[in-house]
């Protein structure tokens, strides 16, 4: 099948006369039609397309739905069009394929109109003319490879060492109940309208419509937030107390390399791949490939162990379109990936206690708690019962055990740390794994005390999770604040603008700029609303932008050198009178221990273009 998709401002057609004897019967209501903001899909069904109509139409519907999502069309027109190929299917096959395509598009919730097959039709179309308004695709009937859903057994392990089936367990914690019901009992959750997209829009964080679906873009505020999170993730791993090496590398790896191929097989259809110069390349799932490819070239002694290798790694996972969620489930994301190289399994187990403690410490800094899923095998649980139970005791609450097939994965235990979000949905953020397979696969070795070559055991961890998921947790915490009647906000260290200075009138603009520059000298991000707007509107817009500290400068402030400061917090109105030094001290105390970066926009609001926020 071949399609030509035109995003049109206007489209209309009218049936004229039969083009073939086997033309489709046309009811009166389908003889003409007109619409606006429509994706017109000119479609040619080719010989052989009937070999797997189910797969062909599913693939075509996915492609069309993805284009609709990118261009924001209101409707789809499926228009039979024999001029895209010389290798045409029979009329009966073509009609069957087109009807099935129409059905599948409607199943995806799209508004669809299919024009009749086998007729000459007059049509008018006004193409919108943007970069995505004209797209051609060749659709193959092959069914894409799908990951086989494994069947797992589940159990609940409590800190007192008791095992329960999920069905028999008596829940005391509602959040843990939500996790178990979703993961083990496969119950549908109520859901609702999420607040996260609205919050992302405040900081210019959104989907990139010119890319593959599932890729995000970050405006000046969002870019600053991501840079701060990247720097913070490096700060967190350094605080573990073990030597850590920061590296950088590529995101593409060649499947001709046996180690790369073996590792890639574990991720199946979620791999991005591309062909370059007769080489089949994959985009990395996380930082593993690059760090392991580098580690194999290092000469490592037992005296060097344990140590960590760290990279803030762009990572790629071909998630299904229906699963993609802004800031949470993405096709391209940034993983602050730490691998800790240890002598053996016993040393790795000890280090994971340190990692676990740090994971909990970080989520508690934003006022949240984790619930855990322990993915493992029955043999590992039996042989290392004391270790697993000690992990659970340190959790201080029950965990959900998920049992995997023996010997299939490179890890022996894979712990996922989950928050329950404002819509009562489990959301994985932090994680760690103990890896006993990849050192041998990538030929990573060290020399032990006797000079013998050994394969180390490797801990994988993202202590704060991917940068986007950690930000999701931050925004979700703000959503919970809102539900509790509090003003949602970002932590001050992460707020793109920490202080906004607002002059009462133009008369006080120079003084406002002077105050802002003094604040900036203390490494505090500050801007000045110098626009020709009313004071009330400027204050309201600062509130909508979640500015933590808003300083109003007028005659009183100039004469007294005392600033009127609006502080965003739990109270509806929290206004204080502070000296400049007092304000700076409050902010510096609040952001102590966190990274700082300068403002990513001009200080004066009048110098910034207006960009649309969804």
pLDDT confidence of 50, banded at 50, 70, 90? confident
d(CA 586, CA 287): 38
Residues of the chain above pLDDT 90, percent: 82
Q: How far apart are CA 495 and CA 489, in angstroms?
A: 8
Same domain, residue pair 112 and 57? yes
86, 118: one domain: yes
**CATH code for the domain of 528:** 3.40.50.800
Q: Using one digit for the tens of pLDDT, what is the confidence trace for 502-522? A: 999 999 999 999 999 999 999
DSSP 256: T
Mean pLDDT of the chain: 93
- The confidence score (pLDDT) of residue 190 equals 79
CA distance 438 to 443: 8
pLDDT at 613 (0 to 100): 52
Q: How far is CA 62 from CA 6, 59, 283, 316, 557, in A?
A: 16, 5, 22, 19, 60
> Is there a single domain that holds both residue 592 and residue 500?
yes
Q: Are the beta carbons of 71 and 39 closer than 8 angstroms?
A: yes
* pLDDT for res 314: 95
Place of tokens 């894979």: 414
Same domain? 123 vs 260? no
Instruction: Indicate if 157 and 131 belong to the same structural domain.
Output: no
Say what the pLDDT of residue 54 is.
87
The terminus-to-terminus CA distance of the chain in angstroms comes to 35
- Contact (CB, 8 A) for 200 and 326: yes
Decide if 221 is inside a domain.
no
Q: Is residue 234 part of a domain?
A: no
Asked if residue 204 is part of any domain, the answer here is no
CATH classification of the domain holding 48: 3.50.80.10
Would you place residue 322 in the very low, low, confident or very high pLDDT band (cuts 50, 70, 90)?
confident
Weakest-pLDDT range from 46-50, 344-348, 436-440, 501-505:
46-50
- For 84, the domain range is 2-138
| Distance between CA atoms of residues 87 and 288, nearest Å | 46
- The stretches of 25-167 forming alpha helices (DSSP H) are 53-71, 91-107
68, 174: one domain: no
Q: Are 466 and 437 in contact (CB under 8 A)?
A: no
* Buried residues in 257-286 as b, exposed as e (16+ CB within 10 A): eebbeebbeeeeeebbeeeeeeeebbbbbb
| More confident position, 145 or 51 | 51
39 plus 109 within the same structural domain: yes
> In terms of pLDDT, which residue wins out, 321 or 162?
162
Of the candidates 151, 181, 162, 195, the residue with the CA atom closest to the CA atom of residue 418 = 181
Q: What percent of the chain has pLDDT over 70?
A: 97
> Could you tell me if 379 and 426 lie in one domain?
yes
**Residue 439 sits in the same domain as residue 548:** no
- pLDDT at res. 614: 45
Angle (nearest 5°) at CA 431 between 394 and 418: 75
For residue 591, being part of any structural domain is answered with: yes
Closest C-alpha among 8, 1, 2 to residue 76: 8
- Whether residue 263 is found in the same domain as residue 295: yes
| Residue 211 in domain | no
Claim to verify: residue 426 and residue 497 sit in the same structural domain: no
Which CATH number does the domain housing residue 409 bear? 3.30.930.10
Taking the C-alpha atoms of residue 347 and residue 456, their distance in angstroms, rounded to an integer, is 10
pTM of the model: 0.77
Angle at 389 (CA atoms; ends 387, 391), nearest 5 degrees: 75
**Band (93; pLDDT cuts 50, 70, 90):** confident
374 token code pair: 């322990």
**For the residues 208-235, what does the mean pLDDT come to?**
96
Judge contact between 376 and 401, C-beta under 8 A: yes
**207 occurs within a structural domain:** no
80 vs 245: CA distance, rounded Å: 59
Residue 571: per-residue pLDDT: 59
- Indicate the burial class of 30 (C-beta count within 10 angstroms; 0-12, 13-18, 19 or more): middle
527 lies in the same domain as 453: no
Domain count, the chain: 3
Least confident of 73-77, 129-133, 196-200, 402-406: 129-133
Six-digit token string for 432: 């760690």
CB 256 within 8 A of CB 280: yes
Model confidence band, residue 612 (pLDDT cutoffs 50, 70, 90): low
Contact by Cβ (8 Å): 336, 464: yes
- Residue 488 vs residues 4, 48, 321, 464, 479: alpha-carbon distances, Å: 45, 57, 30, 21, 6
CA torsion through residues 459, 464, 465, 468, sign? negative
pLDDT number for residue 279: 84
pLDDT-based confidence at residue 273 (cuts at 50, 70, 90)? confident
Average pLDDT score over residue span 377-390:
98
The predicted pLDDT at position 610 comes to 81
**End-of-domain residue from the set 109, 138, 167:** 138
Is 578 a residue whose pLDDT tops 50? yes
Of 380-384, 570-574, 577-581, where does mean pLDDT reach its minimum? 570-574
Residue 59: what are its φ and ψ, rounded to 5°?
Answer: -65, -45
Look at residue 145 in the predicted model and tell me its pLDDT: 47
Q: Is residue 567 part of a domain?
A: yes
DSSP result, 449-487: TTS-EEPPEEEEEETT--HHHHHHHHHHHHHHHHHTTSP
pLDDT of res. 260: 87
Q: Give the mean pLDDT of 413-430.
A: 97
Query: Does 228 map to a domain?
Result: no
Question: What's the pLDDT score for residue 263?
Answer: 78
Contact 450, 316 (CB under 8 A): no
Residue 365: pLDDT over 70: yes
């Amino acid at each position: 099948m071949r399609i030509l998709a035109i995003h049109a401002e206007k489209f209309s057609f009218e049936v004229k006369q039969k083009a073939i004897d086997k033309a489709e019967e046309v009811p009166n209501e389908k003889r003409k039609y007109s619409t606006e903001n429509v994706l017109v899909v000119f479609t040619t069904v080719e010989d052989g397309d009937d070999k797997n109509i189910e797969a062909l139409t599913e693939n075509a519907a996915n492609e069309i739905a993805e284009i609709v999502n990118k261009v924001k069309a209101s409707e789809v027109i499926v228009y039979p069009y024999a001029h895209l190929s010389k290798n045409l299917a029979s009329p009966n096959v073509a009609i069957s394929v087109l009807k099935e395509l129409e059905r599948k598009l409607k199943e995806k919730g799209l508004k669809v109109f299919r024009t009749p097959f086998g007729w000459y039709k007059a049509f008018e179309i006004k193409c919108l003319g943007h970069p995505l308004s004209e797209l051609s695709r060749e659709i193959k009937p092959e069914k894409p490879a799908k990951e086989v859903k494994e069947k797992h057994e589940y159990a609940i392990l409590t800190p007192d060492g008791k095992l329960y089936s999920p069905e028999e367990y008596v829940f005391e914690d509602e959040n843990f109940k939500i996790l178990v019901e979703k993961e083990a009992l496969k119950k549908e959750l109520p859901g609702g309208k999420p607040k996260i997209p609205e919050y992302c829009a405040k900081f210019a964080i959104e989907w990139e419509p010119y890319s593959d679906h599932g890729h995000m873009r970050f405006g000046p505020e969002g870019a600053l937030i991501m840079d701060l999170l990247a720097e913070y993730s490096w700060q967190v791993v350094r605080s573990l107390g073990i030597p850590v090496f920061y590296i950088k590398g590529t995101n593409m790896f060649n499947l001709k390399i046996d180690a790369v191929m073996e590792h890639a097989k574990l991720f199946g259809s979620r791999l991005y791949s591309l062909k370059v110069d007769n080489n089949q390349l994959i985009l990395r799932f996380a930082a593993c490939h690059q760090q392991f490819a580098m580690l194999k070239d290092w000469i490592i002694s037992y005296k060097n162990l344990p140590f960590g290798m760290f990279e803030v790694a762009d990572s790629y996972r071909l998630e299904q379109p229906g699963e993609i969620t802004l800031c949470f489930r993405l096709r391209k994301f940034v993983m602050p990936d730490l691998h800790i190289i240890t002598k053996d399994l016993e040393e790795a187990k000890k280090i994971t206690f340190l990692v676990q403690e740090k994971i909990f410490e970080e989520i508690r800094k934003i006022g949240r708690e984790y619930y855990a899923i322990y993915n493992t095998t029955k043999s590992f649980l039996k042989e290392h019962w004391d270790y697993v139970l000690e992990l659970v005791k340190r959790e201080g609450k029950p965990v959900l055990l998920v049992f995997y097939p023996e010997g299939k994965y490179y890890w022996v235990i894979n712990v996922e740390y989950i928050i329950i979000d404002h819509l009562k949905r489990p959301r994985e953020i932090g994680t760690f794994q103990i890896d006993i397979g990849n050192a041998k696969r990538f030929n990573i070795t060290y020399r032990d005390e006797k000079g013998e070559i050994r394969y180390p055991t490797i801990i994988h961890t993202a202590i704060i999770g991917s940068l986007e998921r950690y930000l999701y947790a931050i925004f979700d915490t703000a959503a919970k604040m809102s539900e509790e009647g509090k003003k949602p906000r970002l932590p001050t260290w992460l707020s793109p603008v920490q202080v906004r200075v607002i002059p009462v009138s133009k008369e006080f603009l120079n003084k406002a700029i002077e105050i802002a520059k003094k604040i900036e000298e203390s490494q505090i991000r500050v801007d000045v609303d110098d626009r020709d707007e009313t004071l009330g509107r400027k204050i309201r817009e600062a509130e909508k932008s979640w500015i933590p500290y808003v300083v109003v400068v007028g005659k009183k402030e100039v004469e007294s050198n005392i600033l009127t400061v609006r502080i965003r917090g739990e109270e509806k109105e929290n206004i204080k009178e502070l000296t400049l030094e007092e304000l700076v001290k409050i902010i510096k105390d609040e952001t102590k221990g966190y990274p700082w970066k300068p403002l990513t926009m001009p200080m004066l609001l009048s110098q910034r273009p207006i960009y649309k926020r969804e």
